[in-house]
Structure formats: C-alpha cells, structure tokens
C-alpha cells in the first residue's frame, strides 16, 4: 500500500520583518541594543522572518493553534481538500500554547473538520517529520484515507525582551561569545510559522503528487547531552534540571531563567555537522542512496553558516550535490523550527519547478538532543 503527499499549505503571520527591525518588534533586553545581533545575523544569513506579534503594541496576534489552523485552511484551499473528509490530524511542534490539552486537540478545535483521530508529536524540528510519518503509516496501512500532518512554531513570546529579566552579560560579549550566544543565538534566528501536508493513498486527478518512498529518523540522545532546551537549566555535569525541581516554585524558576530558550553553542558546533554526516552515511547504507538518485535536496539548516560544512561533509562521502540542486527559503522565510520542513516543501511544490519522475530528498536535523530525519519523495 502507498502514501502520497497530494497537497501542501503554509501560513506566515503578519508582514515580514527585516533584520533592522527585529529589536523594534521583540524589544531590547535591558533597554540596550544587542552587541551580538549583527554578528549572529551575518552568520545565519537570514534577512527576513515573520513574527506573530503586533509591531505597534508588542502583543501576540496568533496562538500556535491558530497559525496551524491557518496553514491547514491554506492546504484545503490550494488542494481542493474537503475538510469534512479528514480522518486523521497529526500535529508536531515544540511550542504548544499549553501543556494540556495536546496541540492537535487545540488545532482540531479550530480547523473546521469533523470528528477524527488526532495525534500530537513533540520534539523540535523533527516533530513535523514525526507527524508526517504517523500520517504516512496510517494511510499506508489502510487505517486513514485523508490524513493531515502539520509542523508549527510560535517562538516569538519566548524571544521578546520582557522574557529576559536581566540585561546583557557584563563585559564585552564579543570577547566572551559563549555567554552572549547562549542568551541571544536563538533570539536572532528563530521565528513563527506553520506548514501542513495532506497524505492520501493515491494521487489526486490532474494534480502533482509526491510519493512517499521512505522516512528515516535516528536519535543520538543515548550518546550526547541536551543541546537546546527551555523549562530547564543545564548543570555543570551536562544534565538538565527541570523547573519543577526548583525550590520556591514557578515564580523562582522564572526569575532564574528556566523558561529562557537556550542553546549550548559549543556542543552544537562540535557535533551537529559530524553527526549529520554519520546519520547520512547510515541512511545511504540502509537505502542504497546514490547522488544520481537525488534531483532536489531540501535541507532544513538552522543557519546558512552550516551550509558549506554540510556540503563538504556530504561531498567527502562521495555525495556531491551541486548548489542548483539545493532548495531552501531560510533567507526570506526564516528558521521556523518544526515548520521549516513543510514550509520549504510547500514552496517547492507550488513553484512549478518539479517534474514527473524527479526525486526529492529532505533532510531535517534537530539539535535539542540530536535527532536527524530524512525523507525521500518521488514526483508523480
């Protein structure tokens, strides 16, 4: 039995925000412009991104569930999907609006489809791939006929200046980049958005479809500590201490910065490319993948800084894909975490560039505790 992507949708909130306007929208920590902003932006290569924030008032304009519902509605509009026929809704995110109910429950309550099966997948960037794999497995097994998988992020509330109760680190952050990057690396990289994918057992008449050939996901959490985290603080031994363990309750946890989104930049730089190469080698071995088997590479790279190292890692394995085969919209749609993969694929799908028989390889790394995913699709 087969599974196909027969439609894709996306939603990016409000007007795009240029680099020069980031701190106008998010605010300045401690009322002081970031000394690291230009350094971080130069490295990540992002020029525009979207925030679910009113630039005039600083107030949120959308919940995560609302972003996701808009992406599903866009999917329905562009694919001709009757939402009443959806029998599975699988939603992945790392930034749900609440702990309980699950994210998929909240999206289901907004999107306008009838009673159906739902599934919420957690994680960060790979949570949308997990939702897609759940939908694919259900359709391929004959348990669903119209499954919608989503990836979404609402990170702007965690990036606003009011989230940070203290000012920049003392001293020159450029001379002590770890402290600065730990605080601000993600603040100038992440943004909001949602993508949606329709999975069905056969192509729709008169419309292009992407046959889902395989999906592989591997975690290396058994080997390495957490790299990206929130709701916890990292201890000297590399373990995480969750906010519930903090004496003094939630208020003290907030004061101590437990809910500040953080990235261990040293751990990231030492391992992300190396592990990506290891994962890719395993996928190639498992799937017999050759360079000539790929017409398009759709990589979720958190920063353009990693593009050349990743290319060199792949080329070193004899998998040399020229730049014209790479497709990314990171520069003008931003790094939207779990939404990045479906937002990239949605743009490529609707671009008119795909031709029947072409093969698309999607690669999604997740730095939270080092999970990697690969998806192979064939255009029909």
Residues 173 and 220 in one domain: no
d(CA 364, CA 262): 20
For residues 308-331, give the mean pLDDT.
94
Residues 245 and 281 in one domain: no
pLDDT of 238-255, one tens digit each? 999 999 998 988 888 888
Q: Does residue 270 carry a pLDDT above 50?
A: yes
User: Could you tell me if 62 and 174 lie in one domain?
Assistant: yes
The domain that holds 86 is classified in CATH as 3.40.47.10
| DSSP class per residue in 322-341 | -GGGB---HHHH-B-GGGHH
Q: Which residue has the tokens 């972003």?
A: 67
Asked whether residue 159 falls in the same domain as residue 185, the answer is yes
Are 302 and 254 contained in the same domain? no
Residues 26 and 103 in one domain: yes
Q: Which residue has the tokens 């990292």?
A: 234
Is 203 in contact with 380 (CB distance < 8 Å)?
Answer: yes
The residue among 139, 174, 207 that closes a domain is 207
Q: Are 254 and 357 within one domain?
A: no
pLDDT band at residue 171 using 50, 70 and 90 as cut-offs: very low
In this model, does residue 229 exceed pLDDT 60?
yes
Cα separation, 7 vs 154, whole angstroms:
23
Burial 241-262 (b: 16+ CB within 10 A, else e): eebeebeeeeeebbeebbebbb
Mean pLDDT of the chain: 92
Tokens 């790299």 belong to residue: 227
Mean pLDDT value across residues 45-70: 96
Query: 180 falls in which pLDDT band (50, 70, 90)?
Result: low
pLDDT at 366: 96
Percentage of the chain with pLDDT > 70?
95
pLDDT of residue 183 exceeding 80, the answer is no
CA 95 to CA 157: how far, in whole Å? 10
User: pLDDT tens digits, residue range 16-28?
Assistant: 999 999 999 999 8
Domains: count for the chain: 3
Which of 207, 241, 271 is the endpoint of a domain?
207
Residue indicated by tokens 């028989």: 357
User: Reading across the β-sheet that carries 359-366, which strands appear in turn?
Assistant: 117-121, 88-93, 147-153, 193-200, 4-11, 210-219, 371-379, 359-366, 296-299
User: % helix / strand / coil in the chain, to the nearest 5?
Assistant: 40, 20, 40
- Measured CA to CA, the distance from residue 189 to residue 153 in angstroms comes to 13
Given the structure tokens 């569930």, which residue do they identify? 65
Instruction: Label residue 84 exposed, middle or buried (CB < 10 Å: 0-12, 13-18, 19+).
Output: exposed
**Angle subtended at Cα 298 by Cα 268 and Cα 96, rounded to the nearest 5 degrees:** 60
The three-state secondary structure class of 8 is strand
Average pLDDT (55-68) is 95
**pTM tops 0.85, yes or no:** yes
> What pLDDT does 29 receive?
82
Alpha-carbon distances, residue 98 vs 101, 104, 154, 161, 162 (angstroms): 7, 11, 12, 21, 19
| Domain enclosing residue 173, as ranges | 4-207
Considering the domain architecture, whether residues 274 and 333 belong to the same structural domain is answered as yes
Helix H, strand E, coil C: the string for 302-320 is CCHHHHHHHHHHHHHCCCC
Instruction: Give the pLDDT confidence of 27-57 residue by residue, as tens digits.
Output: 988 788 998 899 899 999 999 999 999 998 8
CA distance linking residue 18 with residue 15, whole number of Å: 10
Residues 201 and 217 grouped into a single domain: no
Instruction: Note whether 141 and 278 are same-domain residues.
Output: no
Q: pLDDT grade, residue 167 (50/70/90)?
A: very low
Residue 169 has pLDDT above 50, yes or no: no
With beta carbons less than 8 A apart as the criterion, state whether 263 and 228 touch.
Answer: yes
Q: Are residues 280 and 354 in the same domain?
A: yes
Residue 12 has pLDDT above 70, yes or no: yes
Q: Residue 165 in 3-state DSSP?
A: coil
Same domain, 90 and 119: yes
Cβ-contact 199, 132 below 8 angstroms? yes
Tokens linked to 22: 């980031």
Band (174; pLDDT cuts 50, 70, 90) = very low
Token pair recorded at residue 273: 């490319």
* Distance in angstroms (rounded) separating the CA atoms of residues 153 and 179: 25
């Amino acid at each position: 039995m087969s599974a196909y992507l027969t439609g894709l949708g996306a939603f990016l909130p409000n007007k795009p925000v240029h680099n020069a306007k980031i701190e106008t929208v998010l605010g300045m920590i401690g009322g002081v412009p970031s000394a690291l902003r230009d350094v971080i932006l130069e490295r990540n290569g992002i020029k525009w991104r979207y925030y679910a924030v009113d630039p005039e008032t600083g107030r949120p304009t959308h919940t995560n569930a609302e972003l996701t519902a808009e992406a599903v509605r866009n999917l329905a509009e562009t694919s001709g999907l009757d939402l009443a026929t959806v029998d599975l809704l699988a939603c992945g995110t790392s930034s749900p609006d609440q702990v309980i109910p699950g994210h998929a429950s909240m999206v289901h309550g907004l999107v306008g489809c009838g009673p159906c099966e739902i599934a919420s997948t957690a994680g960060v960037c790979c949570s949308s791939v997990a939702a897609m794999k759940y939908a694919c497995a259900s359709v391929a097994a004959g348990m669903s006929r119209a499954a919608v998988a989503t990836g979404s992020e609402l990170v702007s509330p965690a990036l606003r200046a009011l989230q940070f109760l203290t000012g920049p680190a003392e001293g020159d952050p450029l001379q002590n980049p770890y402290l600065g990057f730990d605080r601000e690396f993600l603040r100038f990289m992440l943004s909001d958005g949602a993508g949606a994918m329709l999975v069905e057992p056969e192509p729709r008449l008169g419309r292009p479809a992407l046959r889902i050939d395989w999906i592989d996901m591997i975690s290396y959490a058994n080997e390495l500590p957490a790299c990206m985290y929130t709701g916890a603080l990292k201890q000297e031994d590399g373990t995480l201490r969750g906010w519930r363990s903090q004496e003094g309750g939630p208020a003290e946890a907030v004061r101590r910065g437990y809910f500040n989104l953080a990235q261990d930049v040293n751990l990231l730089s030492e391992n992300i490319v190396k592990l990506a190469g290891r994962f890719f080698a395993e996928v190639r071995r498992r799937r017999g993948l050759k360079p000539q088997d790929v017409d398009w590479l759709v990589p979720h790279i958190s920063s353009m800084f990693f593009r050349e190292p990743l290319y060199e890692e792949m080329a070193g394995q004899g998998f040399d894909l020229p730049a014209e085969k790479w497709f990314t919209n990171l520069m003008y749609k931003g790094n939207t975490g779990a939404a990045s993969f479906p937002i990239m694929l949605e743009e490529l799908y609707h671009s008119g560039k795909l031709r029947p028989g072409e093969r698309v390889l999607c690669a999604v790394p997740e730095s939270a505790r080092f999970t990697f995913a690969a998806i192979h699709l064939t255009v029909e």
